Amino acid sequence: MGALLEVTDLTVQYPTRFGLFTAIEGINLSLEPGQIHGLVGESGAGKSTIGAAIIGLIPSPGYVAQGDIKLLGQSLPELSQKAYHKLRGAKISMIFQDPQTSLNPLLTIEDQLVETIRQHSGHSYQEARDKAVALLIETGLENAQGRMSEYPHQFSGGMRQRVVIALALCTDPDLIIADEPTTALDVAIQAQILDLIRRLANDRGVGFLLITHDIGVIAEITDSVSVLRGGKLMEEGKTAQVLGHPRHDYTKALMAAVPRLEEKLDRFANILSDEPSLPTPELLWKVDGASDQFATDWLLAGERHTASDGPVLSVRDLDVTFYTDRQFSLGKGTAVRALQGISLDVQPGQVLGVIGESGSGKSTLAKAIVGLVRPSAGRIEFNGSELPLGRERARTHPSRRKIQMVFQDPYSSLNNRRKIEDIIGEPIRFFDLARDKGEQRRIVASVLDLVGMPQRAMLKFPHQFSGGQRQRIAIARALVARPEFLICDEPTSALDVSIQAQILNLLKDLQAQFGLSILFISHNLAVVRQMSDHVVVLKSGKLMESKNSDDFFAGPGDAYSRRLLAETPSLDLLLGA
């Protein structure tokens, strides 16, 4: 069979103020009909640029500097703008990452489907509508006929992604570029959507180019894969071969950084780093007397919770009820019970993993513990004494210092208008941990050192750092309050695999060094596996299971937990690595 897509020596460049930036360089790949080819790499690897180049929508001012893209033997870069646009939808289509944002919120799905079908065919409205319904049924939307007149916001995330896929399919394209199609979805929905893509490839012979950062997704459904880094192709070949027996050092390192469900590692090993190893002025800049040793001593010098018997944190029968938006009605709005009768304990020096899909109440639990959300019933005990709930907990309450939090998104959890020195120094001043200015500076610099950042970072602003570096800063900020208890709410889900491995290593080190107790929240079972001593599973605000981590991953008792575990993409392929 002739190749569906043939990309040779593709180079895309962007003119910038600092000269020409090469986003991708010398990329080769080919795809047969009915095949799924994965493009995997971390952020900045150029995966999405390849997709954009193929569909001819490279954001201005970027352009294809070199190379060729052939679709069914036709060279694409030679086409006029107009001819290219005719091709979109008809021959190539695309699926975007977030089904929340990829549908027009003001049009019904019927409008959007019928419009797309009629754009590319001479169908009458009724014919187009019939075809749309048939497609929705094919993509597994229940009651497709009845739901045609609904608006996107009336669908759940997984259903919306099915509509998106139906939209991409409705013009019978030969190639679909799927850019992180399951990243925004829960594990269970992800498994269904991946099934659907595999089925469409097999049944319809559509070729898929699947762009993702998730090795699990690659392992699950792709036939072949290209590993990218910094715009260059590192390695390509059959998926089983590339993942199972990687030849390139980068691929090997990447595989080592992927958290596994099957075994708990003490640390992630062998991570490639772009950090220069030679001492640069950046690294040589030091505050007098600051070092990671100083930070360790200072953090340990604070009064410690005398490791007594009994849990550090104990939650009993916690209920949280929210009321829906009341703007449009006269009453109180409908009650949503976000948490119902949650009881759990965190033992001193242990990590409790909290697992749950979106909407399960994981984050609400974290917020209730730190006092950002007011529970409607229940008790929270910290070191044996009861904590006031919600806003009743004074800002001066000792637990405000002892319980610290690391948030999911390091881009929005740091104030962009303040220097790192002020951001990390704030808890020191607020909790009155050090009066002397020089002392404060020394502590900030030392803690940065401790979390693996150059001390000079304290002079900069958050926007000058990458996501991983920001998360280190956020951890430093939590650490500097000398906490006994750390709540990490999805601390790595916004990060690349290798950065995630670094952050998880850091958290493990800190936890061991300072005997921290941690509540570790994640939807990613493999990450929880790597971090936790004990695991609880939440579903729709209820506690499904609470078990020792090793026992849990060896065989969860609860049916829901078993399903979650089964739906997590298997990395069996990697075990040989």
Partner 1 sequence: MFSFILKRLVQSIFVMLAVSLLAFALFRFVGDPVAVMVGQETSIEDQERLREQLGLNDPVIAQYTRFLGNLVTGDFGFSYRTRQPIGQMILNRMPATVELGFVALLISLAVGIPAGIYTALHNDGVIANAILITTLIGISIPTFVIGIFLIYVFGVQLGWLPTFGRGDVVEIGWWKTNFLTLGGLRALILPAITLGVYQLTLTMRLVRSEMQDVMNTDFIKFAIARGIDYRTVHYKHALRNSMVPVITIIGLQFGGVIAFSIVTESVFQWPGMGLLFLDSIRFVDIPVMSVYLVLIALIFVIINLIVDILYFVIDPRVRLKAEAS
Helices (H), 285-430: 292-301, 362-370, 398-402, 420-430
Q: Does 212 bind partner 1 (CB under 8 A)?
A: no
Verify binding: residue 75, partner 1, rule CB under 8 A: no
CB 206 within 8 A of CB 174: yes
Contacts of 495 by beta carbon, 8 Å cutoff, 6+ apart: 410, 467, 468, 471, 503
Laid out side by side, the sheet with 92-95 consists of: 92-95, 175-179, 207-212, 36-40, 224-229, 232-238
Q: Which is nearer to partner 1, 97 or 239 (CB)?
A: 97
Q: How far is the CB of 231 from partner 1 (least distance, A)?
A: 21
Q: Which CB, 99 or 410, lies closer to partner 1?
A: 99
Token duo for residue 227: 């590993």
Report in angstroms how near the CB of residue 417 gets to partner 1 at its nearest: 22
> Around Cβ 110, how many Cβ atoms within 10 Å?
19
Residue from 57, 240, 265, 283 touching partner 1 (CB under 8 A): that is 57
Instruction: Say whether residue 265 binds partner 1 (CB under 8 A).
Output: no
Binds partner 1 by CB under 8 A, chosen from 6, 32, 68, 115 = 115
Which x/- pattern, by CB under 8 A, does the window 164-183 give for partner 1?
x--xx--x------------
**Per CB under 8 A, does 122 bind partner 1?**
no
3-state class percentages of the chain: helix first, strand second, coil last, to nearest 5: 40, 25, 40
- In the complex, least distance from residue 64 CB atom to partner 1, rounded to whole angstroms: 17
Nearest to 92 by CA among 23, 161, 4, 25: 4
Please state, as a whole number, how many other Cβ atoms lie within 10 Å of the Cβ of residue 488: 28
Nearest distance from C-beta of residue 327 to partner 1, angstroms: 8
DSSP-assigned beta bridge partners for residue 538: 543
Tell which residue, 27, 465, 21, has the closest CA to residue 232. Answer: 27
> Could you give the string, one character per residue 138-157, with x where binding to partner 1 holds by CB under 8 A and - elsewhere?
-------------x-xx---
β-bridge partners, 548: 534
Nearer to partner 1, 141 or 168 (CB): 168
Residue 304 amino acid letter: R
**Residue 372 found at the interface with partner 1 (CB under 8 A):** no
Q: Is 120 in the site for partner 1 (CB under 8 A)?
A: yes
Residue 212 or 455: which CB sits closer to partner 1? Answer: 212
Q: Are 477 and 423 in contact (CB under 8 A)?
A: yes
How far apart CA 500 and CA 43 sit, in angstroms, is 12
Identify which range of 274-282, 323-331, 363-371, 379-387 contacts partner 1 by CB under 8 A.
323-331
Token pair listed for 495: 């990060």
Q: Which is nearer to partner 1, 105 or 576 (CB)?
A: 105
How is residue 434 written in tokens? 């050090």
Length of the chain: 577
Instruction: Provide the minimum distance between the beta carbon of 440 and partner 1 in the complex, in angstroms, as a whole number.
Output: 41
Q: Which range binds partner 1 by CB under 8 A, 82-90, 258-266, 421-429, 474-482?
A: 82-90
User: Site mask, partner 1, residues 268-307, x = CB under 8 A?
Assistant: ----------------------------------------
Q: Is residue 328 within the footprint of partner 1 (CB under 8 A)?
A: yes
Closest distance to partner 1 from the beta carbon of 58 (Å): 12
- For the bound state, the minimum distance from the C-beta of residue 329 to partner 1, rounded and expressed in Å, comes to 4
Min dist CB 333 to partner 1, Å, is: 7
Cβ of residue 467: shortest distance to partner 1, in angstroms? 20
Question: 3-state secondary structure string, 66-122?
Answer: EEEEEECCEECCCCCHHHHHHHHHHCEEEECCCCCCCCCCCCCHHHHHHHHHHHHCC
* Residue the block writes with tokens 């991946």: 194
Tell me how far, at minimum, the Cβ of 416 lies from partner 1, in Å.
20
x/- mask, partner 1, residues 83-112, rule CB under 8 A, reads --xxxxxx-xxx-xxx--xxxxxxxx----
d(CA 209, CA 177): 5
Q: Binders of partner 1: how many residues, by CB under 8 A?
A: 43
Which residues make up the interface to partner 1 (CB under 8 A)? 55, 57, 85-90, 92-94, 96-98, 101-108, 115-116, 119-120, 151, 153-154, 164, 167-168, 171, 324-331, 333-334
